[in-house]
């Protein structure tokens, strides 16, 4: 597509619907910015899609089916009973109906003709009457369509943070912080800390130390962040052309469709780094596109049009790709549901020590982290930098677990409900308490019960029938993480990893979900269903 030509209507429709590639969407967006005709066509398409979406969300009209049903019933019933009565009359009474009906019909016709003659006579003598004035109620003002608001959740917090615009505090109530929904109007601040907010499956933002960000608009169509000071990192899933996402930093605006980037705004200076995708920086008079692997710096009194795009150092770029808006939850439904299916882990570790959860590096030092309910592996780097020690955390829904790591990287997970100062008498960091021993025994018991319940199950084999035709069953597996309650019911059921297609994975998940276990100890079990 050359920029000198107008964009075909079907290509504009595909772009608005999100059915074009990132590269094609960027080209169309550049053309639309410079072409008034195509911009007008795009605006009409966006308005039409918005109107259709609003119509789809409206409730159906009330048709009064109960009244209609009653009328139909009585009409058919009256006609049926009239026919039965007529059929039951003697023949001589049925025959008499015809002349009587004819006489009545002639009388009615004569009366109708007389009425018409009288009306015509009055119309010729009397002046025409004024038409009645219809009294109509004033038309209600059309209501603007309501755009659903976004609700984010805190997934990571370390050091001094605040979500209500107050002064950042290091002793913030972690329980209240992670139980709060982040909505439009929120004012996020960090001192010597880091704060991560997630608002979509692969969408989130992170504040680096010493930052202040306000959520001016935060809904499904428009997201607008204002960076008063500091740096915000953004990880954004690809959006449709009728959705906008922008970061305002002073006199500059950074707009994007879907990418990973960060915007720094300190003392009036602007620094934009793009790790993936493309962003557009504008100041009202000019605009500059910044592509993946590039960054641009604009001093407070400099002109954007004269700013130069430069390549990001490879090591710096690799760090950006790993660290932008991390960590985000791998599964996303909606904030209200996430509060019921996620847990909080608070870790106290030496400053600067890297920390991994389930093999993925999520931060360093002490912090609080949101995880999906289930069993998770926790590792803290030792003095030499390696991850030699591992610990397991069983997190129940809406649970809050605490762990401590010493200078050698050994992690001790505190029992559920215990405070950070609780220790078994005479127990060291690597000691196994009686409660931990009982928990391990409960896991072994529940794992054996699950394996026995699923052993040789016909339902599970049926899930693998499509793979059997292609001879792909051998070596297939799914690893489940199951929370079993004391009454044998399942508290949660997550798929940790698998090598089967999504349809087979969902089928096997339903099979495991239907397993009923006897009463026993409460435990979180991770087991492998292999074929």
* pLDDT reported for residue 152: 93
> What is the CATH topology of the domain spanning 335-431?
Immunoglobulin-like (2.60.40)
Report H helices in 35-64.
Answer: 36-57
Other Cβ atoms within 10 Å of 432 Cβ, number: 11
- CB contact burial 330-362 (16+ within 10 A = b; e otherwise): eebeebeebbebbbbbbbbbbeebbbbbbeebb
Judged by average pLDDT, the poorest of 85-99, 311-325, 351-365, 407-421 is: 85-99
381-404 pLDDT, tens digit per residue, is 988 878 888 888 888 888 888 999
* pLDDT reported for residue 2: 42
CATH architecture of the domain with residue range 152-323: Sandwich (2.60)
Report how far residue 531's alpha carbon sits from residue 529's, in angstroms, rounded to the nearest whole number: 7
**Where residue 467 falls among pLDDT bands split at 50, 70, 90?**
confident
In the chain, what are the domain boundaries?
A: 9-48, 152-323, 335-431, 438-530
Report how far residue 346's alpha carbon sits from residue 420's, in angstroms, rounded to the nearest whole number: 10
207-221 pLDDT, tens digit per residue, is 999 999 999 999 988
* pLDDT reported for residue 140: 56
> What is the CATH topology of the domain spanning 438-530?
TolA/TonB C-terminal domain (3.30.2420)
Statement: residue 298 has pLDDT above 70: yes
Judged by average pLDDT, the poorest of 97-111, 311-325, 472-486 is: 97-111
For residues 260 and 234, is the Cβ–Cβ distance under 8 A? Answer: yes
**290 contacts: CB under 8 Å, gap ≥ 6:** 261, 272, 274, 278, 279, 280, 281, 296, 309
Q: Whole-angstrom distance between the N-terminal and C-terminal Cα of the chain?
A: 50
For residues 283 and 251, is the Cβ–Cβ distance under 8 A? Answer: yes
**Where residue 517 falls among pLDDT bands split at 50, 70, 90?**
confident
**Where residue 453 falls among pLDDT bands split at 50, 70, 90?**
confident
163-182 pLDDT, tens digit per residue, is 998 899 988 888 889 989 99
**34 contacts: CB under 8 Å, gap ≥ 6:** 3
Averaged over 30-59, what is the pLDDT? 71
Averaged over 269-273, what is the pLDDT? 93
**Where residue 326 falls among pLDDT bands split at 50, 70, 90?**
confident
The three-state secondary structure class of 171 is: coil
Judged by average pLDDT, the poorest of 199-203, 365-369, 464-468, 512-516 is: 464-468
Averaged over 273-293, what is the pLDDT? 91
Tell me the whole-structure pTM to 2 decimals: 0.60
The three-state secondary structure class of 299 is: coil
Report how far residue 208's alpha carbon sits from residue 196's, in angstroms, rounded to the nearest whole number: 9
**244 contacts: CB under 8 Å, gap ≥ 6:** 221, 222, 223, 224, 255
- The secondary structure of 302-339 as a DSSP string is S-GGGPPEEEPPHHHHHHHHHHTT----S--S-HHHHH
For residues 516 and 396, is the Cβ–Cβ distance under 8 A? Answer: no
* pLDDT reported for residue 526: 80
Which range in 167-171, 382-386, 424-428, 494-498 is most confidently predicted, on average pLDDT? 167-171
**390 contacts: CB under 8 Å, gap ≥ 6:** 377, 378, 379, 411
Averaged over 37-45, what is the pLDDT? 80
48-57 pLDDT, tens digit per residue, is 776 665 555 4
Statement: residue 335 has pLDDT above 60: yes
* pLDDT reported for residue 346: 92
Which phi and psi angles does 516 have, rounded to 5°? -110, 125
Which range in 25-29, 234-238, 396-400, 435-439 is most confidently predicted, on average pLDDT? 234-238
**523 contacts: CB under 8 Å, gap ≥ 6:** 394, 439, 442, 443, 445, 446, 483, 484
Statement: residue 123 has pLDDT above 50: no
């Amino acid at each position: 597509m050359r920029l000198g030509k107008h964009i075909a209507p079907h290509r504009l429709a595909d772009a608005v619907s999100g059915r074009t590639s990132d590269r094609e969407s960027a080209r169309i967006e550049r053309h639309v910015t410079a072409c008034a005709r195509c911009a007008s066509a795009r605006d009409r398409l966006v308005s039409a899609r918005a109107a259709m979406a609003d119509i789809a969300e409206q409730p159906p009209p009330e048709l009064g089916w109960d009244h209609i049903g009653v009328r139909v019933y009585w009409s058919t019933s009256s006609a049926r009973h009239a026919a039965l009565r007529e059929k039951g009359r003697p023949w001589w009474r049925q025959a008499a109906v015809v002349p009587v009906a004819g006489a009545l019909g002639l009388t009615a016709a004569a009366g109708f003709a007389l009425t018409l003659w009288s009306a015509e006579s009055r119309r010729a003598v009397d002046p025409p009457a004024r038409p009645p004035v219809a009294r109509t109620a004033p038309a209600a003002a059309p209501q603007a369509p309501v755009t659903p608001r976004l609700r984010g959740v805190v997934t990571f917090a370390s050091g001094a943070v605040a979500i209500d615009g107050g002064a950042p505090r290091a002793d913030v109530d972690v329980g209240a912080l992670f139980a709060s929904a982040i909505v439009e109007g929120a004012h996020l601040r960090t001192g010597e800390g880091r704060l991560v907010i997630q608002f979509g499956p692969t969408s989130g933002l992170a504040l680096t130390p010493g930052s202040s960000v306000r959520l001016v608009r935060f809904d499904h169509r428009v997201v607008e962040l204002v960076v008063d000071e500091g740096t915000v990192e953004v990880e954004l899933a690809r959006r449709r052309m009728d959705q906008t996402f922008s970061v305002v930093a002073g006199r500059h605006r950074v707009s994007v469709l879907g990418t990973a980037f960060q915007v720094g705004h300190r003392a009036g200076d602007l620094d934009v780094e793009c790790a993936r995708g493309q962003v557009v920086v504008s100041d009202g008079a000019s605009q500059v596109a910044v592509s993946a692997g590039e960054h641009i710096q604009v001093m407070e009194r400099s002109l954007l049009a004269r700013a130069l795009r430069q390549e990001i150092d490879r090591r710096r770029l690799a760090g950006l790709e790993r660290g932008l808006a991390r960590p985000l939850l791998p599964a996303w439904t909606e904030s209200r549901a996430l509060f019921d299916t996620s847990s909080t882990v608070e870790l106290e570790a030496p400053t600067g020590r890297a920390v991994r959860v389930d093999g993925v590096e999520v931060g360093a030092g002490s912090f609080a982290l949101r995880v999906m309910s289930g069993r998770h592996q926790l590792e803290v780097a030792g003095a030499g930098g390696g991850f030699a020690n591992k610990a397991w955390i069983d997190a129940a829904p809406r649970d809050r677990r605490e762990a401590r790591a010493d200078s050698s990287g050994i992690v001790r997970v505190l029992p559920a409900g215990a405070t950070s100062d609780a220790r078994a008498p005479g127990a060291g960091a690597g000691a196994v308490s009686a409660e931990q021993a009982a928990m391990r025994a409960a896991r072994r018991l529940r794992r054996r019960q699950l394996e026995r319940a699923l052993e040789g199950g016909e339902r599970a084999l049926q899930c693998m029938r499509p793979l059997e035709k292609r001879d792909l069953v051998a070596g297939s597996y799914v690893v489940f993480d199951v929370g079993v309650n004391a009454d044998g019911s399942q508290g949660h059921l997550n798929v940790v990893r698998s090598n089967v297609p999504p349809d087979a994975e969902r089928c096997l998940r339903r099979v495991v979900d239907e397993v009923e276990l006897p009463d026993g100890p409460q435990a979180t079990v991770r087991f492998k269903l292999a074929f």
